[in-house]
Amino acid sequence: MIPAPPRPTASEDEVRLERLRKRRGSYPLWRLLWANLRDDARLLRQAWFPLVALLTVLTGGTLYLFLDYFPARMSCAPPLCGVDLARAFYETLQLLIFQSGLDFPDEPVGRLLFFAIPLLGLFFLLQSAIDLGRLIFDKSVSPEQWQISLARTFSGHVIVCGLGRVGYRTVLQLLDAGYDVVVIEVAWDSEFVATALRLKVPVILGDARDPDVLQQAGLSRARGMIAAINDDLRNVEIVLTARRKNLGIQTVLRIYNSELDTNLEHSFGPNTAFSISTLAAPTFAAAAMSRAIVQVISLPEGLLGIAELTVETESLLSGFVADVEERYWLRVLRHRDSAGNERRRGFMQKIDSGDVVLLLGRLDELERARVDNTPHSKIGFLRPLRPKDPGEQLNTVIVCGIGQIGIQVIQLLLANTPHSEIVAVCLPDTPTAITDEIEGLGVRVVRGDARDVLVLEAAGLARAYTVASLFSNDLLNVQVGLAARSRRSDIHLVLRVFSDVLAERLSALFGINTAYSTSALSAPALAAAAVLYDVGYAFDIGERLLGTRALAVRAGDTLDGQALGDLRDRAGLLAITLRRGGESLMPPPLDMALRPGDEVVILGDLRALAAPRT
């Protein structure tokens, strides 16, 4: 009997979206009141002419009655007649609606006013009502102006320009981390606008290169701005415009070209331009070398992987957290029990069967922990264990697609796995200059359609450990994966997709963490850089947005003499790399103490990273 395919579960994005909907069901009352006052003031400004004309007519009539009409008929000066401005104004309103009982005056000015007040006044009154009614109706039918009024109530927020997949994911990351967001989008019918509005995120309609649009989004009050449009030149123009209006604002650009990324940072400063391919490539490369990889932190010393494992019954991965961390030289970033409840770190904290742990460490140690996570491996001497690694016969990584991400993945694989054979499969029309560059690295290139099993076999499918399909086409990558699985059911697949939900659905179908969305991998870095300018790398684990930051230890500061274990327990900051005397430890022992001259790379929540010395 063929087992039923796994039933798709809710993706991480769907879980986050549901969580945000519950938290952000409505605007705070004070914000709605303030926005309505601003919006009403705008309506009054737009209907100014009939309102001013009506006020002029009423003022003229009131003054005439008070200064001339009543004194002439009472033979007294105005203060002595018992008629004040309120009575004069009341009688003017009576004239306006043809209800006045006053005698018709004899003088020409009075006669003119007695005719003009009801005729002109009523005309301007109706005109004002029509204009205000039209504006209020437009406000309900076309909510763009209401969004501007809402945005004016925000301060200390992050402006996200462009609500594509990367921009949308960045918005979710910021909201989940507790930061306010205002979006600028050129198309009101964009795919994610409705979702942003339901999450109570103001969406300003317009081109972010327009200074007026940026001001409507609150540029002068914002803490940061992210240009996430799928156009390098437009993103640069947006940042230049923003910096011209607010020189001190932290700006972040999404860049496709990795060389432009480096050049822009020379002009705009570090961590201001992020290439999507550069952010995503390390994770694809690490996933090709080790399974269960969620994300990767790329450091000068090498790659630190983050893997999620469900602890098997009586496996070597169960036991006290301190023992597991020491045995595999790993760090536990998150620990949940089988019911999904968060386990807080403690002296006697244990990892039990069924628990889900998020581990950080070198790729080889993560792979060792994954292989050791075998049911009953603690009593392995009583029964034979399954093979721990694929064996020397599986020594090939096949990379399909040699665009920007594919080339960077190959370079990372060569740097980290020099003994593995790497084969690149490219389309027949791939320029010769690109294939020559790849072959110059010592990589064999096979031209052909990677969906064809014969092409994959020519690339060495029989001895491949991993097939990584990195084309910029979701369907093509899925088809390559299916073709590889049709010949090798045990093959490890790494697929690049654009849809975040599809990535998690494919993970359930092909095996854990084998499909990755480039927007999901890059959005946390954009979000974190807009909040903390010198963040190194960022990723999210549920509701927490974590980042890295490199700090130099100075004599006499609060880090001097600080034990790394205490830094973790008291401040929630994990040291992942320690550079001392020309050498690096990654990760360093928790019992080490910092001293002047050290440089430490710490990992933690953005708010904790912002003040690590306090």
DSSP secondary structure, 438-457, as one string: HHHTT-EEEES-TTSHHHHH
The DSSP bridge pattern shows strands 515-517 and 492-497 to be: parallel
CA–CA distances in Å: residue 127 to residues 130, 134, 445: 5, 11, 75
pLDDT at 44: 64
| Axis crossing angle, helix 363-372 with helix 321-328, rounded to the nearest 10 | 120
Show the tokens assigned to 589.
């022992």
Answer yes or no: are the C-beta atoms of 334 and 342 closer than 8 Å: yes
pLDDT at 46: 67
Residue 108 lies in a domain: yes
Assess whether 271 and 309 both reside in one domain.
Answer: no
Among the listed residues 87, 575, 538, 73, the one whose alpha carbon sits nearest the alpha carbon of residue 295: 538
Range of the domain at 257: 145-277
Among the listed residues 526, 532, 614, 543, the one whose alpha carbon sits nearest the alpha carbon of residue 573: 614
Q: Is the pLDDT of residue 578 over 50?
A: yes
The Cα–Cα gap between 129 and 51 comes to 9
60 Cβ partners below 8 Å, 6+ apart?
113, 117
> 293 - beta bridge partners?
307
The Cα–Cα gap between 270 and 272 comes to 6
CA–CA distances in Å: residue 542 to residues 19, 20, 546: 10, 12, 10
The Cα–Cα gap between 207 and 221 comes to 19
pLDDT at 32: 79
The Cα–Cα gap between 157 and 179 comes to 7
Assess whether 94 and 190 both reside in one domain.
Answer: no
488 Cβ partners below 8 Å, 6+ apart?
461, 462, 464
Q: CA 212, 216, 219, 225 torsion: positive or negative?
A: negative
The half-sphere exposure of 406 on its side-chain side, counting CA atoms within 13 A, is 28
Among the listed residues 336, 23, 337, the one whose alpha carbon sits nearest the alpha carbon of residue 176: 23
The Cα–Cα gap between 66 and 77 comes to 10
CA–CA distances in Å: residue 548 to residues 225, 540, 579: 20, 12, 15
Show the tokens assigned to 349.
């904290």
Show the tokens assigned to 34.
């303030």
Assess whether 163 and 135 both reside in one domain.
Answer: no
Q: Cis peptide leading into 587, omega within 30 of 0?
A: yes
Assess whether 254 and 165 both reside in one domain.
Answer: yes
Answer yes or no: are the C-beta atoms of 584 and 578 closer than 8 Å: yes
- Could you give phi then psi for residue 541, rounded to 5 degrees? -130, 90
Give the residue with greater pLDDT, 419 vs 348: 348
Residue 361 lies in a domain: yes
Residue 396 lies in a domain: no
Q: Per-residue confidence at 135, pLDDT binned at 50, 70, 90? A: low
pLDDT at 71: 75
pLDDT at 277: 82
pLDDT at 40: 67
Assess whether 363 and 264 both reside in one domain.
Answer: no
Residue 240 lies in a domain: yes
| Axis crossing angle, helix 232-245 with helix 258-268, rounded to the nearest 10 | 10
Assess whether 162 and 192 both reside in one domain.
Answer: yes
Among the listed residues 438, 440, 442, 441, the one whose alpha carbon sits nearest the alpha carbon of residue 470: 438
The Cα–Cα gap between 410 and 404 comes to 10
Please give the distance of CA 201 from its chain centroid, rounded to a whole number: 13
Placement of tokens 């002419």 in the chain:
49
Name the domain boundary from 343, 363, 382.
382
Q: Is the pLDDT of residue 130 over 90?
A: no
Answer yes or no: are the C-beta atoms of 320 and 352 closer than 8 Å: no
Residue 215 lies in a domain: yes
The Cα–Cα gap between 76 and 122 comes to 32
**DSSP class per residue in 254-321:** EES-HHHHHHHHHHH-TTSEEEHHHHHHHHHHHHHHSTTEEEEEEETTEEEEEEEEEPPTT-TT-EEH
- CA-atom Rg of the chain in angstroms: 34
155 Cβ partners below 8 Å, 6+ apart?
218, 221
Show the tokens assigned to 348.
């006697």
The half-sphere exposure of 170 on its side-chain side, counting CA atoms within 13 A, is 35
Answer yes or no: are the C-beta atoms of 394 and 244 closer than 8 Å: no
Assess whether 135 and 211 both reside in one domain.
Answer: no
- pLDDT tens sequence across 365-412: 998 999 888 886 655 544 433 444 444 567 789 999 998 899 999 998
| Axis crossing angle, helix 12-23 with helix 500-510, rounded to the nearest 10 | 130
CATH number of the domain that 566 lies in?
3.30.70.1450
Q: Is the pLDDT of residue 539 over 70?
A: yes
Give the residue with greater pLDDT, 460 vs 386: 460
Q: Is the pLDDT of residue 532 over 80?
A: yes
Q: Per-residue confidence at 165, pLDDT binned at 50, 70, 90? A: confident
| Axis crossing angle, helix 276-289 with helix 258-268, rounded to the nearest 10 | 130
Assess whether 377 and 309 both reside in one domain.
Answer: yes
pLDDT at 381: 40
Show the tokens assigned to 91.
């009688």
Residue type, 534: D
Residue 519 lies in a domain: no
Q: Is the pLDDT of residue 241 over 80?
A: yes
Residue 238 lies in a domain: yes
pLDDT at 391: 46
| SS3 annotation, 159-188 | EEECCCHHHHHHHHHHHHCCCCEEEEECCC
Q: Per-residue confidence at 483, pLDDT binned at 50, 70, 90? A: very high
Q: Which of 85-89, 258-262, 302-306, 514-518 has the highest mean pLDDT?
A: 302-306
With a pLDDT cut of 70, the percent of the chain lying above it is 83
Mean pLDDT computed over 352-374: 90
Assess whether 161 and 273 both reside in one domain.
Answer: yes
| Axis crossing angle, helix 404-416 with helix 432-440, rounded to the nearest 10 | 10
- Could you give phi then psi for residue 465, rounded to 5 degrees? -90, -35
- pLDDT tens sequence across 188-230: 888 899 999 999 999 999 999 999 999 999 999 999 999 999 8
Mean pLDDT computed over 550-571: 89
Assess whether 92 and 137 both reside in one domain.
Answer: yes
Give the number of other CB atoms < 10 A from CB of residue 14: 13
Mean pLDDT computed over 520-540: 86
**Residue 563 carries which DSSP code?**
B
- pLDDT tens sequence across 310-328: 998 888 888 899 899 999 9
pLDDT at 11: 59
State the total domains in the chain.
Answer: 4
pTM, two decimals, is: 0.76
Name the domain boundary from 341, 358, 382.
382
Answer yes or no: are the C-beta atoms of 318 and 274 closer than 8 Å: no
Assess whether 182 and 84 both reside in one domain.
Answer: no
pLDDT at 14: 73
Q: Per-residue confidence at 256, pLDDT binned at 50, 70, 90? A: confident
Assess whether 51 and 121 both reside in one domain.
Answer: yes
The Cα–Cα gap between 185 and 197 comes to 12
Give the residue with greater pLDDT, 284 vs 182: 182
Placement of tokens 């005698």 in the chain:
103
CATH number of the domain that 74 lies in?
1.10.287
Q: Is the pLDDT of residue 82 over 70?
A: no
CATH number of the domain that 237 lies in?
3.40.50.720
Residue 404 lies in a domain: no
Q: Is the pLDDT of residue 158 over 90?
A: yes
Name the domain boundary from 113, 141, 169.
141
Return the SS3 of 537.
coil
